[in-house]
Amino acid sequence: MIDLSGMFNALVASPMIIPAAFAGIAWGILGGALPGISPSITMALLLPFTYGADPTAAVVLLASTYLGAEYGGSIPAILIRTPGTNSAAATVIDGYAMKEQGKAGEALGISLYSTLLGSVFGVALLITLTQPLAAVALAFQPTSYVGLGVLGLSVIASLSGESLIKGMMAGLIGLMIATIGTDPVTGNNRFTFDDPELLSGIPPILVMVGIYAVAELFEQASQPGWRQTNTADAAIKMPDALMRARLRVSQIIGALIGFIEGLTPGGGGTIAAFLSYNEAKRWSKKPEEFGHGSPEGIAAPESANGSVSATALIPMMGLGIPGSNSAAVLLGGFLIHGMTPGPMLFTKHYDVVMGLYAGKVISLFALLVVAYLILRPCIWLVNRPKHYLMAFIFALVLSGVYAIHNSLFHVGIALAFGVIGYAMKYYRIPTLPMVLGVVLGFMVESNYRRALVLSDGDHMTFVEDPIAACLLIVAFGFILVSLVRHFRDSMKSDQKVKSA
């Protein structure tokens, strides 16, 4: 299945592939690390530079940027509690906790190692099985997406922390926020107060930047003394043999879930990250460490992100259907050079496909090299005196938010969510369920209503689609297990109180 000589020939014919892969990774990491700048925006900014370029090098540049950006999102997630991209939101949980324990270098090493492994897995599947696997995307119906979304939401039950009720509340608030904007079916405006800025709803990244980064800044500012800078963690530490063995299961879980998510257009990497986080927790020998700096809590979502960045190209190249914004930009890159992705791409532009594959392989090496070079100054930066650092982060985060649509209104929303996040922290309401609600709410709602239009209002459609039925059963299983565990734990603690 692997045409190594084809890839080599493409590399010889277009040697610019190599610098393009390195440049894409470097640009992608920078873009992904800037809060607010999504992978697709990072890629779109490069489009003008691809005009005069060799078509193969141009698509390699864009595809490498995608991988770089997916990885780059984890750097601020770990170092400053701000996910650079939506899909890095799950990495915040244990990444920042490890950083707080003085293990920033170790957390960054785990993240890099896991993204790389996930990407190797994804690229291998992309190279060998694009055409047969592309058909899988078609098996996913609106009902299946509802199942997937509900499965994602079911994670709320296990991520609620000490209070399930508070977790549910936060999840519901998130779902309510997701209803703001234009109704996906009728086009009516909901909770927009005639403000055109609200017609597209509230972008999830604003919620994340607000409740993670801005709230953290408020929290830090309200503490009387700055924590002493720890210089001991100012070095990247790749996992040793013992750690690698510990991470293996969570990385396999992440890579597999990322693979499935990448194949399904519309699924999105964020669900993959949260689902793999949750699964890694369930399969871990030390689940109690999750949320308090578990290495597996970084490995699972980051390996999922790496896997998604390669497998998301499968439906785009195999079918000509872009499943995500990033895939759409890559599709645009093909179109600008007069190539139409889809089944014909493999016959009409075989050399470009081989070149892209070769470029994806090179981008894996590029990721390792460039990330290693970039991480040292990043760690140095976050170890500066905190009063300077906090001001820098505040400026960075708000300018990133402003850059999304050059909108001060968005800056206001992020600040408002900062206040909400701070209040939630104060009242010990978990924020993760709210993020999940915001990210998944629109997807679940639009697919649910779409499925009902297609079935003429018959809810049996969710049972008749085997994928949806399986996903829903798993989701309800998760919820049930979490409920039982929750009530068992609360009964135990009640007994302890009584016996004391």
103's CB contacts (< 8 A; 6+ apart) are 233, 293
| b (16+ CB within 10 A) / e for 36-56 | bbbbbbbbbebeeebeebbbb
How many residues sit in the footprint of another protein (CB under 8 A)? 54
CB of 239 to another protein, least distance (A): 36
Residue closer to another protein (CB basis): 169 or 467: 467
> Which residue lies nearer to another protein by CB, 232 or 344?
344
Query: Torsion over CA of 287, 288, 292 and 295, rounded to 10 degrees?
Result: -30
Q: Of the ranges 75-83, 117-125, 169-177, 316-324, which one interacts with another protein (CB under 8 A)?
A: 316-324
403 touching another protein, by CB under 8 A: no
Which CB atom, from 319 or from 379, has the smaller least distance to another protein?
Answer: 319
Provide the 10 A C-beta neighbour count for residue 80.
27
Residue 343 interacts with another protein (CB under 8 A)?
A: yes
Tokens linked to 384: 């500066």
Our finding on whether 450 is near another protein (CB under 8 A) is yes
Cα 394 from Cα 434, distance rounded (Å): 22
Residue matched to tokens 């697919």: 447
For strand 181-182 and strand 189-190, is the pairing parallel, antiparallel, or unpaired? antiparallel
At its nearest, how many Å lie between another protein and the CB of residue 408? 13
Residue 285 C-beta: closest distance to another protein, Å: 40
Q: Is 185 in the site for another protein (CB under 8 A)?
A: yes
Looking only at residues 246 through 265 of this chain, which bind another protein when binding is defined by CB under 8 A?
A: 265
Amino acid occupying residue 177: I
In angstroms, the first-to-last Cα distance of the chain is 66
Q: Nearest approach, Cβ of 7 to another protein (angstroms)?
A: 24
272, 280, 298, 329: residue in contact with another protein (rule CB under 8 A): 329
Amino acid identity for residue 482 in this structure: S
Integer CA distances (angstroms), 313 to 71, 74, 125, 247, 369, in order: 16, 21, 10, 26, 23
Is residue 346 at the binding interface for another protein, with CB under 8 A as the rule? no
Binding segment for another protein (CB under 8 A), chosen from 197-205, 244-252, 416-424, 432-440, is: 197-205
138-157: contacts with another protein (CB under 8 A): 138-139, 141-142
Query: Which span (169-177, 334-342, 478-486, 492-500) binds another protein, by CB under 8 A?
Result: 334-342
- Separation in Å, CA 412 to CA 34, 385, 415: 18, 27, 5
Asked if 223 interacts with another protein (CB under 8 A), we say: no
- Minimal distance, residue 197 CB to another protein, in Å: 8
Residue pair 87/273 in contact by the 8 Å Cβ criterion: yes
Q: Give the C-alpha distances (Å, rounded to integers) separating 360 from 25, 32, 84, 261, 353.
A: 10, 18, 22, 19, 11
When the beta carbons of 296 and 465 are compared against another protein, the nearer one is 465
In angstroms, what is the minimal distance from the CB of 190 to another protein?
Answer: 12
**Residue 245: Cβ within 10 Å count:** 10
Q: Is the Cβ of residue 287 or residue 332 nearer to another protein in the bound state?
A: 332
CB of 315 to another protein, least distance (A): 8
- When asked if residue 187 is in the footprint of another protein (CB under 8 A), the reply is yes
- Nearer residue to another protein within complex by CB, 341 or 359: 341
Q: Where are the beta strands (DSSP E) in 139-216?
A: 181-182, 189-190
Q: What b-and-e string marks burial along 116-150, b requiring 16 or more CB atoms within 10 Å of the CB?
A: bbbbbbbbebbbeebeebbeebeebbbbbbbbbbb
**According to CB under 8 A, which one of 115, 363, 446, 482 is a site residue for another protein?**
446
Nearer to another protein, 5 or 186 (CB): 186
Span interacting with another protein, options 8-16, 189-197, 244-252, 482-490, rule CB under 8 A: 189-197
Distance CA 400, CA 130 (A): 35
Sign of CA dihedral 179, 181, 187, 193: positive
Residues near another protein (CB under 8 A): 40-41, 43-44, 47-48, 51, 137-139, 141-142, 182-188, 194, 196-197, 199-200, 265-266, 315, 319-323, 325, 328-333, 335-336, 338, 340-344, 405-406, 446, 450, 453-454, 456
